[in-house]
Amino acid sequence: MAGPPRLTDPDTVPGQPAATQPPAAQPDSGHVPVGRATIMDVAAASGVSRQTVTRAMNGMSGISASTKQRVLAAAEALHYRPSRFGRGLVTGGDHQLGLVVNDLRNPYTPQLAAAVVGLAAEQDWNVMLADVDLVSDPDRMVAALGSQTDVVIGYFGSRRDRWNDLLGTVPMVELDPATEPPTGAVWIDPTDAIEVLADHLVATGVRHPVVLDNSEPDVPSARGALMLAALRRRGYLPEIVHGRHGTAECGAEETERILGRRRRLDAILAFNDVMALGVLSACRRAGVDVPGDVRVVGVDGLPLGALVTPTLTTLAVDLDAVARQALDLALGMLDRSLPRSGASVQRTVRHRLLLRESA
């Protein structure tokens, strides 16, 4: 009686027995392609046909476990990802870009998203956006985003390493990382602008500045710490107030508390423009003249700051430049002209002092 049918790999390279198929590709095996790896590169590296690669990558039957493992190892070594065309996930354009943001209710976020979408359109990219602060399972959302996009950029925060593992071979570009990133990154650096601002406060006679930070008690944010250090180097003894939320409401509430203590102050440096708008509102309700009694400064350079009275002085950042640097890194990582990590995939965009009526 014939035994059970033997599992065969019909798409194994003809003339080469399965037992002698080449081992999984290694980065230095000679199979590393120039530019983005294709399904044919994986087939050549693992010694199988294109159809067998398709079966292995999609978990289909008809190939042995050892062949599947060999193909998957070659795909990983070559940083190959299956074509979205084959998976039916493309809605147009050459590339899909995933954008991770924190909170679309913050005016900074749609401003950034608009910059990314506009520049992506010029490159024939589509953008898929994930707001990870407004969902119950951000890990699941990021994993789904990675399965449908070629590269993911955005704000990752403390979840960066976990999401890097979740995304696997999908390149990542982090915006404004808090620490040295394991991926590509665009740093958004206010250091120089804060120094210019501190000199401006000295020149205009400010004596009692307050830093209104968005941070937990006794733990300044990186931005707040830079402000405090710049002021102290110029002989100030600045007070820091910790606001738990970077919102206009929080800015207004904390300003009311500051004014209610009737301590001397003549400048409030807010963590961002949104909090600074709350500061302006609280000062107006309290009858405090800005900038006559108190100068007010924000950070970000949002267009909203030019629409209020008095117009808001701010440390402005060019979000178009941020988006451009991030997309350039993304393209380089995709076509493999740039590595996935290291100094060559890091860029810096700096703030500048934009003087308006409030200071």
Element (H, E) at 281: helix 273-286
DSSP calls for 10-66: TTBPTTS-GGGPPPPP-TTSS-PPSSS--HHHHHHHHTB-HHHHHHHHTT-SSS-HH
pLDDT given at position 57: 77
DSSP state of 158: G
Residue with the larger pLDDT of the pair 101 and 76: 101
pLDDT given at position 94: 63
What is the token pair recorded at 301?
């350079």
- pTM to 2 decimals? 0.75
pLDDT given at position 3: 45
pLDDT given at position 356: 98
Q: Is the pLDDT of residue 58 over 50?
A: yes
Q: 186 and 345 in contact (C-beta within 8 Å)?
A: no
pLDDT given at position 83: 55
Instruction: Kindly list the strands in the beta sheet with 352-354, ordered across the sheet, starting from the edge strand earlier in the chain.
Output: 239-243, 209-214, 267-270, 295-300, 313-316, 352-354
How far is Cα 130 from Cα 299, in angstroms, rounded to an integer? 24
pLDDT given at position 6: 40
Residue with the larger pLDDT of the pair 7 and 297: 297
Looking at residues 40-54, what average pLDDT do you find?
A: 84
How far is Cα 157 from Cα 327, in angstroms, rounded to an integer? 20
pLDDT given at position 49: 86
Looking at residues 27-54, what average pLDDT do you find?
A: 72
Render pLDDT for 153-162 as a digit per residue (tens, 0 to 9): 999 999 999 9
Q: Which of 48, 348, 356 is nearest to 176 (CA)?
A: 348
Render pLDDT for 237-283 as a digit per residue (tens, 0 to 9): 999 999 999 999 999 999 999 999 978 999 999 999 999 999 999 99
